[in-house]
Amino acid sequence: MRVLLIDDHALFRFGLQELLERRGIEVVAVGDATAGLDMVARTAPDVVLLDMRMPGLTGLELLRQLRGASQSMPIAMLTTSAEERDVVESLQSGAQGYLLKDMEPDALIAALGEIVRGRTVVAPELAIVLAKAVQGEVKLARVDTGLADLTPREQEILCHLAEGQSNKAIARQLGISDGTVKLHVKAILRKLEVHSRVEAAVIAVERGLCERASARD
């Protein structure tokens, strides 16, 4: 296995290079993203290990450049960051791995082997972070689907809810009965998969639903 290691921290870079080479892994190590970009073309590595935080061109920016240049070799981020945003953006940008610098050596080598074989590997400690991100994306998709399913009358009532109006006030303004408003509110909550009119109102405000409705009027 040939690894291209791109990391601006010299002590970490030298230490990891020595560790990997002791395990029979060929390593080319460079200290900045620009040199790494050149080395990718020259060395044709089996996998690129890329630091997230580097001065100048960051690891994430380099990842995007490599993918934009149709470089298809496996790339894994090797970082100290456990931030949800970093994990998600890296995977969405084409990384096949997101590994942490405090991993045990054997775990790192095993992860590299999996990545070279075409699998996506995320450090086990980040499984919860990744699960939360995925759940959040699913929830947002469901909300958008629910908003699209609302009838024009339900959208109108949702906007009144966003203004904090009661069922009685909404009924009076729209010229319908309290019972009819109540039925519409139940339908809105069901479609948006929320449990209260406050949650529904927050969604309307966050999505700018009523602003778009006003613009159309």
What is the set of domains in the chain, with CATH numbers?
Answer: 2-125 (3.40.50.2300), 150-216 (1.10.10.10)
Model pLDDT for residues 93-117, shown as the tens digit of each residue:
888 889 999 989 999 999 999 999 9
According to DSSP, the residues that pair with 121 across neighbouring strands are 97
Angle at the Cα of 171 (from 167 to 177), degrees rounded to 5?
Answer: 100
Across the strands, what pairs with 77? 50, 98
The one-letter amino acid code at 117 reads R
Residue 217 is predicted with a pLDDT of 45
**The pLDDT value given to residue 27:** 96
Q: Residue 21 corresponds to which tokens in the numbers above?
A: 């080479």
Q: Write the pLDDT tens digit of every residue in 128-161.
A: 666 665 555 556 667 777 888 899 999 999 999 8
Q: Is the pLDDT of residue 173 over 70?
A: yes
As a residue count, the chain comes to 217
What is the pLDDT, as a whole number, of residue 211?
67
